[in-house]
A and B are shown apart, each in its own frame.
Chain A
Amino acid sequence: MSATGSGTHILSLYVANRPGTLARIAQTFSRRGFNIESLVVSPAADGKFSRMTISASGEDAVVEQVMRQCAKLVDVVSCHEHDPEGAVGVELALMKVAASGEKRTEVLQITDHFHAKTVDWTERTVMIEATGSTAKLDAMVALLRPFGLKELVRTGKVLMARGEQAT
């Protein structure tokens, strides 16, 4: 319960798949002035539930309080924060890069290096699909930007606890 410190927090919520649940959670964050950096909602293994992964930055103590307020919502089954070592977190990005002529080779080299793949080609553009840690995708985006990054869509981080630990 440290009152000091702040940074990005990755929260994993297991919620009943009912109307309004997302809005209630978003309101809980916005009421405390939190900016959600990314939020991913998807059906859980049991279709009656959904899994939400929320990245938000703020003071540790306030995040802890927001988590308690989220956990208190009737449709929220659990709300956990995971430390990076204890969980696998990945995101997916689609990048549309201006790449015509000789530039294409370089773009493809970068794509290969990051174990990403091309998913669409036109005369002037290449679309690349990449998955991995946020840091890896940030690095890839930085390298591709000088070629002309026309569009970027990222899913935001999804996370799963390692081993026997429940997410």
Chain B
Amino acid sequence: MTKVTSKTASDAGEKGKNRTGAEALVQELVRCGVDHAFGVPGGAAIPIFDALCAEKRIKFVLTRHEQGATHMADGFARASGRPAAVLVTSGPGATNTVTGIMTAMMDSVPMLVVTGQSETAMLGKDAFQEADVFNITMPVVKHSYLVKRAEDIPRVVREAHYIAVSGRPGPVLIDVPVDVGRAEVPGDAGAGVDLPGYHPEAGGGTPVELEQIAAALDKAERPLLLAGHGTVIAGAGAALAALSEKLRAPVATTLLGKGVFPEDHALSVGMVGMHGTAYANRLVTECDLLLVLGARMDDRILGSPASFGAGAFIVHVDVDEAEFGKLVRPDVACRGDARRTLEALLPLVRRRTAGGAWERRVAEAKRKWPLRYAARGGIRPQRVIAELQALVEGRKVILATDVGQHQMWAAQFWRCGNPRRFVTSGGAGTMGFGLPAAIGAQLAHPDALVVALVGDGGFQMTMCELATACVQRLPVKVLVMNNHMLGMVRQLQDLLAGARHSGVELEGNPDFARVAKAYGAFGEHVTRSNDLRSALRRALAWDGPAVVDVETVAGEDVFPMVPPGRPLEEMLLEMPETADGKGGEA
């Protein structure tokens, strides 16, 4: 994954002159293959931003808010598999990154966050814009550094990059006091990685484990494969498809696994869990073997831990041993890289003939409980997704979503045929993620059509990054599902709080089309069903960022739904007549 760029004169600084800590930092980032950085400067980050001036191999994107910078780096990494850097100043600049770091951590996304810090001598003395960022971020980073000596910078940057991208990826933070950035790095400063406690390399599993899994797969009558983000990270798509076809086993995915298995495949059953497809949830309860690959089986997937896959032999494959038995106790736990495990399993299992009883049951379940929505009565949000899909069929499209109802409709209705083409905040559920993540994804894939599907609530949390899209001339298309409401919360209140709506109505939304125009983007407001397709066409044809604000039906609910904490069997296909508070906790 690491791209080592060739050494040039600027790598070692001018002859006879030692480089500063900040120069070393930027140069080492380049050596690690980092070519994009997002951020906002400030007093304590002056040396780092100064060093950027001389380093043309990093494209720096100035954002309007540090949270946006982290989500851009996140979107860049999810879409490309390569980490980007976030460069911010101390104090509030650094604390503004916390949400984005936590978002990346929850979803195992590599990221290098460099924060300026007060002078070493002032640490802990409440200096201007001083915050103890090393400790504030500790629970939400994979690892972090507070660099006290300039000579440590080359080693720290290389370690940080290695940690961020290897094993189960994640964000790594480097806090650099301003005087360390200014100090000279001795010419002989070592850059060797020294991590005696870190062993991220994972093979496919032990021979015993693989034999056990293969035997269980061969014995199973109703095997089901559940693919999570780990299969995307490992590049396991081809091996997953091969195993599924050899076993004639259906493949369900988590939200973050979406796209790793083509969703138009007969054996694809879509997403499992709280808002998963009815057939996927049903088949999880019917299967006799569940092969969970690179998924951590969180509460949104399980329903209730005790009932999940209760009738099945559960095999859990993950690079991270700490996931085994966290919520669900597997019958076989196998520490393995999903691609390597699948490739090792392939020759060990017997090929099954197509059209068996289980495969017929899969097809029947898909026919019996299809995803559906009402066709009439205003613009249905699900239809907006279908219209968009029809218009972009055959193109390289990356859909980035925000968080809420629209995200779940996208997970249900958007058919995704490739990994890294559906960018969404899963574990953290961070509103405001969609637009900046789309900007990052567009920078990673200039040739792709990148669409940010957002709600009116989340959009306004990072809407200022429209300026970034305009300045960078990135043709990101923002599709706003506007129901003037925090719709997912409203739905939960309908179901769990006696339909008493509290704090969910978004009064005073601006005219998003005019906001877009004010930033210099294309903007259009769609209120009538008949205008939807043509407005989308105009936005897609526009050479630059565009916002289409679609007035969608306000009371629409996301179904199927498994009430929080309930078993998958208790999935609801529509709002019950007497929704009340018995459903559990949100």
B-binding residues in A (CB < 8 A): 1, 3, 15-16, 19-20, 23-24, 27, 31, 48-49, 61, 64-65, 68-69, 71-78
With known contacts A65-B325, A77-B196, A20–B144 Cβ distance under 8 A: yes
Q: Decide if B139 touches A31 in the complex (CB within 8 Å).
A: yes
* Given A23-B138, A72-B322; 19 other pairs, CB 8 A cutoff: A1-B325, A16-B197, A19-B146, A20-B144, A27-B138, A61-B325, A64-B325, A65-B325, A68-B322, A68-B324, A69-B322, A71-B321, A71-B322, A74-B142, A74-B143, A74-B195, A74-B197, A76-B197, A77-B197
Closest A residue to B134 by CB, please name it.
A20
Chain B residue contacts of A1, Cβ below 8 A = 325, 329
Chain A residue contacts of B325, Cβ below 8 A = 1, 61, 64-65
Chain A residue contacts of B146, Cβ below 8 A = 19-20
Smallest distance from the beta carbon of A22 to chain B beta carbons, Å? 11
With known contacts A24-B138, A74-B163, A15–B197 Cβ distance under 8 A: yes
Q: Is B135 an interface residue when CB atoms closer than 8 A count as contact?
A: yes
Q: Is B320 an interface residue when CB atoms closer than 8 A count as contact?
A: yes
Smallest distance from the beta carbon of A85 to chain B beta carbons, Å? 26
Interface centre among B139, B163, B195, B196 (most CB of A within 10 A): B196
Smallest distance from the beta carbon of A125 to chain B beta carbons, Å? 37
Closest A residue to B146 by CB, please name it.
A19
With known contacts A61-B325, A65-B322, A73–B139 Cβ distance under 8 A: no
Alpha-carbon distance between A75 and B198 when the two chains are bound, in angstroms: 7
| CB within 8 Å of A: which B312-339 residues | 320-322, 324-326, 329
Closest A residue to B148 by CB, please name it.
A19
Chain B residue contacts of A19, Cβ below 8 A = 146
Smallest distance from the beta carbon of A115 to chain B beta carbons, Å? 38
Q: What 3 pairs between A and B have smallest CB-CB spacing?
A: A68-B322, A77-B197, A74-B143
Chain A residue contacts of B143, Cβ below 8 A = 74-75
Alpha-carbon distance between A75 and B139 when the two chains are bound, in angstroms: 15
Interface of A is mostly: mixed
Chain A residue contacts of B135, Cβ below 8 A = 20, 23
Alpha-carbon distance between A3 and B326 when the two chains are bound, in angstroms: 11
Alpha-carbon distance between A15 and B430 when the two chains are bound, in angstroms: 34
Chain A residue contacts of B198, Cβ below 8 A = 74
Chain B residue contacts of A77, Cβ below 8 A = 196-197
Partner of A27, one of B139, B196, B197, B329: B139
29 contacts between A and B (CB under 8 A): A1-B325, A3-B329, A15-B197, A20-B134, A20-B138, A20-B144, A20-B146, A23-B138, A24-B138, A27-B138, A27-B139, A48-B196, A49-B196, A61-B325, A64-B325, A65-B322, A68-B321, A69-B322, A71-B321, A72-B320, A72-B321, A72-B322, A73-B197, A74-B143, A74-B163, A74-B198, A77-B196, A77-B197, A78-B197
Chain B residue contacts of A71, Cβ below 8 A = 321-322
Alpha-carbon distance between A77 and B59 when the two chains are bound, in angstroms: 37
| CB within 8 Å of A: which B387-428 residues | none
Closest B residue to A61 by CB, please name it.
B325
Chain A residue contacts of B144, Cβ below 8 A = 20
Chain A residue contacts of B326, Cβ below 8 A = 65
Alpha-carbon distance between A27 and B325 when the two chains are bound, in angstroms: 20
Chain A residue contacts of B196, Cβ below 8 A = 16, 48-49, 77
Smallest distance from the beta carbon of A76 to chain B beta carbons, Å? 5
Chain A residue contacts of B139, Cβ below 8 A = 27, 31
| CB within 8 Å of A: which B146-165 residues | 146, 163
Closest B residue to A76 by CB, please name it.
B197
Closest A residue to B135 by CB, please name it.
A23
B128-141 vs A, CB cutoff 8 Å, 1 = contact: the mask equals 00000011001100
Smallest distance from the beta carbon of A48 to chain B beta carbons, Å? 8
Alpha-carbon distance between A19 and B255 when the two chains are bound, in angstroms: 37
Alpha-carbon distance between A24 and B143 when the two chains are bound, in angstroms: 9
Smallest distance from the beta carbon of A2 to chain B beta carbons, Å? 10
Smallest distance from the beta carbon of A29 to chain B beta carbons, Å? 12
Chain B residue contacts of A31, Cβ below 8 A = 139
Chain B residue contacts of A23, Cβ below 8 A = 135, 138
Smallest distance from the beta carbon of A65 to chain B beta carbons, Å? 6
Alpha-carbon distance between A68 and B162 when the two chains are bound, in angstroms: 21
Alpha-carbon distance between A33 and B321 when the two chains are bound, in angstroms: 21
| CB within 8 Å of A: which B186-206 residues | 195-198
Chain A residue contacts of B197, Cβ below 8 A = 15-16, 73-78
Alpha-carbon distance between A75 and B142 when the two chains are bound, in angstroms: 11
Chain B residue contacts of A75, Cβ below 8 A = 143, 197
Chain B residue contacts of A20, Cβ below 8 A = 134-135, 138, 144, 146
Alpha-carbon distance between A19 and B144 when the two chains are bound, in angstroms: 10
Smallest distance from the beta carbon of B304 to chain A beta carbons, Å? 16
Chain B residue contacts of A49, Cβ below 8 A = 196
Smallest distance from the beta carbon of A74 to chain B beta carbons, Å? 4
Chain B residue contacts of A24, Cβ below 8 A = 138
Interface centre among A1, A74, A78 (most CB of B within 10 A): A74
Alpha-carbon distance between A73 and B322 when the two chains are bound, in angstroms: 10
Smallest distance from the beta carbon of A98 to chain B beta carbons, Å? 40
Chain A residue contacts of B142, Cβ below 8 A = 74
